[in-house]
Structure 1
Amino acid sequence: MTGYQGRGLHGQVVEQMGVRIVGGAYPPGAPLFSEQLEREFDVSKTVVREALKVLAAKGLVESRQKRGTVIRPREAWNLLDGDVLRWQGREPPNFMFLENLAEVRGIVEPAAARLAAGRRTDDDLEELESALAAMAAARQDPDAMVDADLRFHRALLDAAHNEVLSRMEVVLAAGLQVRDRFVHHSEYGSDPMPSHRALLDAIREGDAGLAGVTVEALLAQAAADLAEVREHADRSATAPKRATSRRTQTARTAPSTT
């Protein structure tokens, strides 16, 4: 999901404003002034107007009489929009949203795996095998691993041969892309190959029950990996504060030299 990056001035304004809104830089109800945005981004009134239209279509902003354009509350956002999903994966990560996406994966992917075990074609198996090989080749390249993992899970949905399930890719891909970026770029994630290989084997054998259970185990490990990454991120974020606190306490209790 490349979003609006690289789509000219209008796209750049959409991208930067979207990241800011989703990231919480603007609180709900905060006004956006076109003249200020024109100066900040050094763009024309037309560019700003078109960018705000795009953001409004995603549920992020709305125009109100006498108040102009304002930020809408989170519950009004189109959370299934590909860009809104992607923007929530920017720094700092929204771990609560990632956990919500993990729950959706837990509902969708086991069902998709069971269907795939009964419906997969030779072409489906070939694509799953190719994606798995790409994952194996990308062990030392986190970015390539993310791409290969996304490819595998897209192939899994497609192997179910249900066009509605295939459209769930936009949601699952967003969660996977963000989750993988943190896990595969860290030193705490587990080896994803055994669980993915086991899933492919179950689908190849046509064992729907085993395929579903295998996905559930895969997702449980993915959740554990993300939790570990989050724990270390939380520790890193609080460590300076603790150090400062200790220094402050020492300063308070140290005997005066004056």
Structure 2
Amino acid sequence: MQDVAPQLRGNLKSAVAETIALRILDGTYPPGTTLPTEVDLLADLGVSRTCLREALQTLVGKGLITSRPKHGTSVRPAVDWNYLDDQMLHWRRKVVPQHQILDELLSIRDLVEPEAAALSAEHASPQDLADLREALETMSSAAGGRTQATLDADVRFHRLLLAASGNALMSGLGACIENALRASIVVTSDPRITDPIALDQHRLVLEAVEAGDADRARAQMRKLIDMTRVLLQRARTLT
């Protein structure tokens, strides 16, 4: 029998990994329990043994499960899960209420981005500053409303700020921050709640970074995140 094309096999593996991950995240397979046997999972999911094993390895990499000889595959404690993994964030958004996800992501931003802005004020290179200025100008280019290009530029601005901090660990949180931004942007882009002052606040952050004023950069970024929090609260009143 001819093997499945690699791309299709990869897509199937991802689908199987997501199916099992969602069952773990929604409590169908709670922490500490043993997953159904391989035979049962194969019958349930209708995939090949190779596909299932590759999918399970994906979940091992996310910290969701562990496998031991003669003990089967069990769900690890929730404290061991890699919540900041990009795929994990995507999966959790399917089973956790949106407001909870947004609150969690905003809290991460609150912890990371003000310090990233302060460090950027101290360490940003001329190229970093030029890239940040370019992203801000793209954000400003929307005359009548936000476009995909301006939304992408907004995300890029924040990721560039993390990179400009000179801290590799902060820069490594870029995917998590991007998820937080894109999730909140979807909600706060509603014309009924959008705050045009937010763009000016981005500019104040950049001006502080350009001036090398760490304390001011930190404070301005906190104000920007607080503005997002207010917009999200406003959005909840409309739902």
Q: What corresponds to 2:4 in structure 1?
A: none
Alpha carbon RMSD of aligned pairs, Å? 3.1
User: Secondary structure of the equivalent of 2:28?
Assistant: coil
Q: 2:187 aligns with which of 167, 182, 189?
A: 182
Q: Is 1:193 the counterpart of 2:195 in the alignment?
A: no
Please list every run of 5 or more consecutive structure 1 residues that lacks an aligned counterpart in the other structure: 234-258
Q: What corresponds to 2:83 in structure 1?
A: 79
Q: What corresponds to 2:170 in structure 1?
A: 165
| TM-score normalised per structure 2 | 0.79
User: Secondary structure of the equivalent of 1:130?
Assistant: helix
Q: What corresponds to 1:211 in structure 2?
A: 217
The structure with the larger Rg is 1
1:111-126 matched pairs, under 5 angstroms? 111-126=115-130
User: Secondary structure of the equivalent of 1:31?
Assistant: coil
Question: What CA distance in whole angstroms lies between the structure 2 residues aligned with 1:224 and 1:209?
Answer: 23
Question: What CA distance in whole angstroms lies between the structure 2 residues aligned with 1:35 and 1:94?
Answer: 35
Q: Is 1:14 the counterpart of 2:17 in the alignment?
A: yes
Question: What CA distance in whole angstroms lies between the structure 1 residues aligned with 2:23 and 2:237?
Answer: 25
- CA contact under 8 A between 1:142 and 1:185: conserved in structure 2? no
Amino acid at match of 2:102: L
User: Secondary structure of the equivalent of 1:80?
Assistant: coil
Structure 2 CA distance for partners of 1:230 and 1:166, relative to 1, 3 Å: same
Q: What percentage of aligned pairs have identical amino acids?
A: 32
Amino acid at match of 1:174: N
Amino acid at match of 2:179: A
1:41-52 matched pairs, under 5 angstroms? 41-52=45-56
Q: Choose 140-149 or 125-134, whichever is displaced more.
A: 140-149
Q: 1:132 aligns with which of 126, 129, 136?
A: 136
C-alpha deviation, 1:215, in angstroms: 0.4
- CA contact under 8 A between 2:34 and 2:72: conserved in structure 1? no
Q: What corresponds to 1:243 in structure 2?
A: none
| TM-score normalised per structure 1 | 0.74
Amino acid at match of 1:113: A
- After superposition, what is the alpha-carbon deviation per residue over 1:37-63, rounded to whole angstroms, capped at 9, x for unaligned? 435544211101110121122122334
Question: What CA distance in whole angstroms lies between the structure 2 residues aligned with 1:155 and 1:6?
Answer: 35
1:53-68 matched pairs, under 5 angstroms? 53-63=57-67, 68=72
Structure 2 CA distance for partners of 1:91 and 1:77, relative to 1, 3 Å: closer
User: Secondary structure of the equivalent of 2:166?
Assistant: coil
Structure 2 CA distance for partners of 1:183 and 1:64, relative to 1, 3 Å: farther
- CA contact under 8 A between 2:132 and 2:157: conserved in structure 1? yes
Question: What CA distance in whole angstroms lies between the structure 2 residues aligned with 1:69 and 1:185?
Answer: 44
